[in-house]
Amino acid sequence: MSQFDNVSILKQANIYFDGKVTSRAVLFADGSKKTLGIMMPGEFEFGTEQAELMEITAGEVEVLLPGSSDWRTVVGGESFDVPANSSFQIKVKQVTDYCCSYLD
Amino acid sequence: MSQFDNVSILKQANIYFDGKVTSRAVLFADGSKKTLGIMMPGEFEFGTEQAELMEITAGEVEVLLPGSSDWRTVVGGESFDVPANSSFQIKVKQVTDYCCSYLD
C-alpha cells in the first residue's frame, strides 16, 4: 500500500535520540494506529507496550530481537515483529524509513 | 490545529541531504497538499515551485529569504512565507519539526 486514506495525522512529530529517530502518528477510523518514522544511522534500543509490526520501507538495519542472540539484517521491503512488553536493539546502517503498526 | 483529519498520507518519506531533511506528504480532500518534515542541524538550500508557508512546529532555524540580506531567526510556533519559483537558505540550529503548506 503506497498511501493511507481517510486517516488523521498528528501535526507534531515524536522526536527521540536528539532527532536521530523521529516518527509521526497516523490514526485510522477503526481506532488503530501506525507511526511513520525515520531513523538515522546509529544504535538504539526501544521498548514496546503493544506488539509491533515494523516494516522497513527503505534503508537497512540490523535488529536483535527478544529471545534471539543473533543480529538479523532487515532491508527496505522487509519487516519484523516485536512482542508486546519487550525491548529490542537496532543498528541503523543507512537512513531508514519505516512504518510501525501497533497490534492488539 | 494539532492534527489533520480525513487526509491521505504517503507511506514513503521524501529523503534529502542524506536524511538530514525528510518529509511526508499529506493530501487533503480539496486537492491541497502539505508536507510534515524534520530537519537536522545543518545548512541547506531549497527551491520552490509553488509559494509556501513554512510553519516551525518545534525547533529553531535561521532563514535567508529571497530579496533579503538579513538572516531571520524562526522558532517553534512561528512561520515564514516563501514566494513561488524562488529559493531560500536555511541554517537549522536545533532539530526542527515543520509543516509546509503549498499555496496557490
A2 falls within a domain: no
pLDDT surpasses 90 at B95: yes
Q: What is the ipTM of this complex?
A: 0.94
B37 found inside a domain:
yes
Torsional sign, CA A41, B24, B60, B69: positive
- Residue B51 zone, left/alpha/beta (φ > 0; ψ -120 to 50; rest): beta
Question: Which residues have CB under 8 Å from A46's CB, separation 6+?
Answer: A82, A87, A88, A90
Position B58 in a domain: yes
| Ranges in chain A, pLDDT < 50 | none
Q: Of B100, B104, B10, nearest to B47 (Cα)?
A: B100
Residue B60: which domain range?
Answer: 8-103
B72 and B89 Cβ atoms separated by less than 8 Å: no
Q: Does residue B2 sit within a domain?
A: no
Chain-wide mean pLDDT for chain A?
97
Flag if A57 and B15 touch (Cβ within 8 Å): no
Residue A3 domain flag: no
Per the CB < 8 Å rule, is A38 touching B13? Answer: yes
CATH number of residue A70's parent domain? 2.60.120.10
**What are the pLDDT digits (tens) for A65-86?**
999 999 999 999 999 999 999 9
Question: Which residue of A lies nearest to B55 if distances are taken between CA atoms?
Answer: A11
Q: Is position A49 within any domain?
A: yes
**How many separate domains does chain B show?**
1
